[in-house]
């Protein structure tokens, strides 16, 4: 297990490093002194985003679990509830009470309607047609757990599409981009051309709200950007 | 010169492909049928963003030109004026009236004050301290030209930083990220942890507003996502 210089892990209740014998190692860090960090998600975008914030090594674990939910709930409640279930399933699978487990679930909502991953080109076309010229909302639930402690929060970002021509929709579908993505688009690819405006956390639209995750991880003792020893 | 399947270039005034003998080649495309696309910028982020929207091959040209401007102008007028001068310089350098030349200039403004690229760790610290807990604005001017035709537009995005601790600022400075970036941060790196909110075009914060650029290029006949032949 190796953390980049940006990332130091200390117990959430630590008062000083010396009290806990957990001073940051100078060289390659010892596995013993670090909890495992597990990303319970298969999304390549989420892996990339963890890496972006300085968590270079982590394990991937894919929890099972159904995605059923009570449709009367709000978008934030829905993603939170699914994410919490995934988190519980991942915690059981991991079987390590010291591991920090990150789970996330992202959904796209347009006028109260949920847009999942398109199963055909025609469905992708319908989704892109629905998004065209409108503002929709991307909600991600994030669950962080360690042993019996589990926290879940949700983030919503508004995304505005410019009006699309049918030619543009089909050319975009032809790239294959829509098929593993809720709402039939990926903001980090050429669909950027369609999106003149987001309001909220951009990375949330990619599947993981990084500022929120950083705040949650800090509560679990994973301090990103706290490399005091290398200051000045 | 090679374009990805997403990118077809036709004259802006073309009525049909056959009228102009400019049918999209099936295999590797012929240089003769394509104008050169020149990005007049050294920014690695801008290169990456052009590639993201399907313009895979383009030339890089670095125009000279001073960055002087009238400080009584608005942020949008300032970036537009600098960008237009860069565009004129690049057009002269390129010396090819058929080439499509893209120039951009990005500036960061906080409460009417311009934040450039920090020249020292102390200056980076001052900039991050000024941005901490506040909303600032990132303005990019974009100039597209071909021969005597030149168009310039500007895009502004609001970016909100959460409050930062001094420890976080120094740890971030220690990564080296701030030094080639206006405002001392790069949104596409670990500074994502500091930024819970943007309002506007996210890619503008990286240095190139993609939706606006796509619209301007379309006006010059560079149609992204117009691959009619491969529909269905």
B167 → chain A, closest CA residue: A226
Query: What beta strand segments (E) does chain A contain?
Result: 7-9, 37-39, 59-60, 100-110, 113-115, 135-146, 149-160, 197-200, 222-224
Does position B230 have pLDDT exceeding 80, yes or no? no
Residue B203 three-state SS: helix
Choose among B49, B192, B230: nearest Cβ to A53. B192
Question: Considering only CB atoms, which chain A residues are within 8 Å of B196?
Answer: 200-201, 209, 211-212
Q: Is A226 on the interface with B (CB under 8 A)?
A: yes
d(CA A13, CA A9): 12
> What is the chain B residue with the closest CA to A161?
B211
pLDDT digits (tens, 9 = 90+) for A184-232: 999 999 999 999 999 999 999 999 999 999 999 999 999 887 654 443 3
Instruction: Sort out which chain B residues have CB atoms less than 8 A from A219's CB and list them.
Output: none
pLDDT at B6 (0 to 100) = 52
Task: Return d(Cα B45, Cα A88) in angstroms, integer.
Answer: 39
Q: Quick check: A192 and B53 CB within 8 A?
A: yes
> Above 0.85 for ipTM, yes or no?
no
Predicted pLDDT at B71: 84
Whether the predicted model's global pTM rises above the 0.80 cut: yes
- Tell me if B145 sits within 8 A of B91, measured CB to CB: yes
pLDDT digits (tens, 9 = 90+) for A56-92: 889 999 887 667 888 899 999 999 999 999 999 999 9
Ranking A152-161, B29-38, B75-84 by mean pLDDT, the lowest is B29-38
Shortest CA gap A175–chain B (Å): 8
Residue A70 a catalytic site member:
no
What are the residue ranges of helices labelled H in B175-227? 202-206, 210-219
A201 CB within 8 Å of a chain B CB: yes
Question: Is the Cβ pair A211, B189 closer than 8 Å?
Answer: no
How many Å apart are CA B115 and CA B117, to the nearest integer?
7
A187/B contact by beta carbon, under 8 A: yes
Model confidence pLDDT, tens digit, residues B102-141: 999 999 999 989 999 999 999 999 999 999 999 999 999 9
> Is it the case that residue A17 has pLDDT exceeding 50?
no
At residue B1, the pLDDT reads 38
């Amino acid at each position: 297990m190796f953390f980049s210089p940006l990332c130091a892990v200390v117990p959430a209740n630590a008062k000083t490093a010396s009290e806990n014998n957990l001073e940051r190692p100078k060289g390659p860090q010892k596995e013993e002194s670090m909890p495992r960090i597990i990303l319970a998600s298969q999304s390549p975008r989420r892996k990339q985003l963890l890496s972006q914030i300085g968590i270079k090594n982590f394990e991937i674990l894919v929890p099972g679990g159904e995605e059923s939910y009570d449709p009367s709930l709000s978008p934030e409640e829905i993603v939170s509830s699914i994410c919490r279930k995934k988190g519980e399933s991942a915690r059981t699978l991991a079987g390590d009470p010291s591991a920090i487990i990150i789970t996330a679930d992202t959904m796209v909502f347009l006028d109260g309607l949920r847009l999942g991953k398109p199963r055909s080109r025609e469905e992708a076309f319908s989704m892109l047609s629905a998004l065209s010229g409108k503002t929709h909302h991307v909600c991600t639930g994030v669950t962080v757990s360690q042993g019996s402690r589990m926290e879940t929060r949700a983030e919503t970002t508004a995304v505005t599409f410019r009006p699309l021509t049918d030619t543009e929709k089909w050319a975009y579908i032809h790239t294959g981009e829509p098929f593993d993505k809720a709402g039939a688009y990926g903001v980090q690819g050429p669909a950027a051309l369609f999106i003149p405006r987001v309001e909220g956390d951009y990375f949330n639209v990619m599947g993981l709200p990084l500022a929120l995750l950083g705040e949650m991880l800090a509560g679990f003792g994973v301090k990103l950007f706290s490399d005091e020893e290398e200051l000045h």
